[in-house]
Amino acid sequence: MIAPGKAIGVLGGGQLGRMIAHAAQGLGYRVHVYEPSGPSPAGAAADLETTAGYDDLPALRAFAGSVDVVTYEFENIPTGPLEELAGTVPVLPSPSVLRTCQNRWREKAWLRSRGIPHALYAEALAGDIGAAVSELGLPCVVKTADFGYDGKGQMRLSGTEDLERASAIFRGRRCVVEQWVPFVRELSVICARTASGETRAYPASENLHANHILDASIVPARISPAVEAAARGLAVRIAEALGVVGLLAVEMFELADGSLLVNELAPRPHNSGHWTLDACGTSQFEQHVRAVCGLPLGPVSARNPVVMVNILGDAWWRDGRGPVEPNWSAVLSEPRARLHLYGKPEPRAGRKMGHFTVQGDDVAGALELARAIQSRI
């Protein structure tokens, strides 16, 4: 066990790192953030921030020497240097877990090898997607193997004209082509696991997207008890099979017959779990800290129905004008709502600047109030 009072190192300086830092400090830990691009939202909340590249081994070694455990807040980190660091300080989840989850080729191959249900797919070398599209048929989705998130690096193909355009866009890039899944809804489950094998899966979140970016998450998801149990059980199964120590977010599709297909994995806190900050006894960020430090895991049930809504940089640009400060009183004047901003200085279209949550007596009421607040912001 890495006891409170010790130091936690966080690779990455974004909002997830910021909220990990807040949770860790609440438990009495010191936090050291490592971020290549300079002063960051996470660094502003941490006790110390190092600005250096992920290929700067002397800086990474010094960073590792200053902490008792290292974790990360996003996947786009080279695993080679982390494997070297893991020889001197625990890196959790392990570099092998990160290596599997950060690349869609390896992730899909791992799911297939374990017999875990997922969309049919084919690999496309150097962006030559024609053969893969012919194999799977249309419609389908092309995704880069690396560095994809929030809809970046992917494109849906419906007809031959899309194929021609995609072939030009993805030329020279390693890709995965996935068969289009006619899903009923998108779900995610966040599962925590400790080194001793203790696991806790949060309730499934129903996720609504706009322009490929998560717009809102609803808990409890509007699914049957059987689908809820299956989703949580699948997340635990995957976390155990991967050997995750920390958090694992499992994104899934629910099909019309109630069956589930795994879409993507993320070995870290997840946007769809932000509701836990206000409506759960243990936030996903505190749970991540507990898991990587070997502490007992906390409760995961939702106290009330809750809706989380992302606030994007678009909220600063209205009627062709901007940047204009959003109407924060729309959130702050509502006692059932809570506002969380990420400390990012520059609002840009599609950039996640914050979120708010709304708790209610039922999902329908919470969602209606959340949409009303969203329209006024």
Longest Cα separation, the chain: 59
CATH of 185-376 given 3.30.465.10, 3.40.50.720, 3.30.470.20, 3.40.30.10: 3.30.470.20
The closest alpha carbon to 265, from 190, 171, 344, belongs to 190
Q: Report in angstroms the alpha-carbon separations of 201 from 75, 98, 121, 238.
A: 21, 20, 28, 11
Q: Give the residue extent of every domain in the chain.
A: 7-91, 120-179, 185-376
With CA atoms as reference, report the closest residue to 13 among 37, 47, 48. 37
Does residue 41 register a pLDDT over 80? Answer: yes
pLDDT of residue 39: 92
Tell me the CATH class for 120-179: alpha beta
pLDDT above 70 (res 176): yes
Q: Which of 11-15, 144-148, 281-285, 313-317 has the lowest mean pLDDT?
A: 144-148
Give the per-residue pLDDT at 173.
86
pLDDT at residue 151 greater than cutoff 70: no
Q: Give the whole-angstrom CA distance, residue 327 versus residue 28.
A: 35
295 has a pLDDT exceeding 90:
yes
Token pair 């520059």: residue: 346
Q: What is the mean pLDDT of residues 137-154?
A: 81
pLDDT of residue 154: 86
Better-predicted residue by pLDDT, 69 or 127: 69
pLDDT of residue 71 exceeding 80 = yes
- Cα–Cα distance for residue pair 24/5, rounded to 1 Å: 10
Tell whether the model's pLDDT for residue 160 goes beyond 90: no
Contacts of 306 (CB under 8 A, 6+ apart): 218, 219, 275, 278, 279, 357, 358, 359, 360, 366
**pLDDT number for residue 169:** 87
Q: Mention every residue, 6+ apart, whose C-beta is less than 8 A from residue 201.
A: 189, 190, 191, 192, 232, 233, 235, 236, 300
pLDDT in tens, 226-273: 999 999 999 999 999 999 999 999 999 999 999 999 999 999 999 999
Candidate CATH numbers 3.40.1280.10, 3.40.50.1820, 3.40.50.20, 3.40.50.2300; the one for domain 7-91: 3.40.50.20
- What's the token pair of residue 115? 């017999």
pLDDT, residue 127, reads: 62
Cα-based angle 74, 79, 82 (whole degrees, multiple of 5): 95
Tens of pLDDT, residue by residue over 54-68, are 999 999 999 999 999
H or E, element range at 358:
strand 352-359
Q: Count Cα atoms within 13 angstroms, Cβ side, for 181.
A: 23
Q: Is 126 a residue whose pLDDT tops 70? A: no
Residue type, 247: L
289: pLDDT strictly greater than 70: yes
Average pLDDT for the chain: 95
Q: What percent of the chain has pLDDT over 90?
A: 85
Tokens of 230: 């299956």
Lowest mean pLDDT among 125-139, 142-156, 273-287, 293-307: 142-156
Alpha-carbon distance of 222 to 210, in angstroms, equals 19
At residue 365 the predicted structure's pLDDT band, cuts being 50, 70 and 90, is very high
- Judge whether residue 70 has pLDDT over 90: yes
pLDDT in tens, 78-117: 999 999 899 999 999 999 999 999 999 999 999 999 999 9
| Torsion from C-alpha of 256, 263, 94, 291, nearest 10 degrees | -40
Q: What is the pLDDT of residue 209?
A: 96
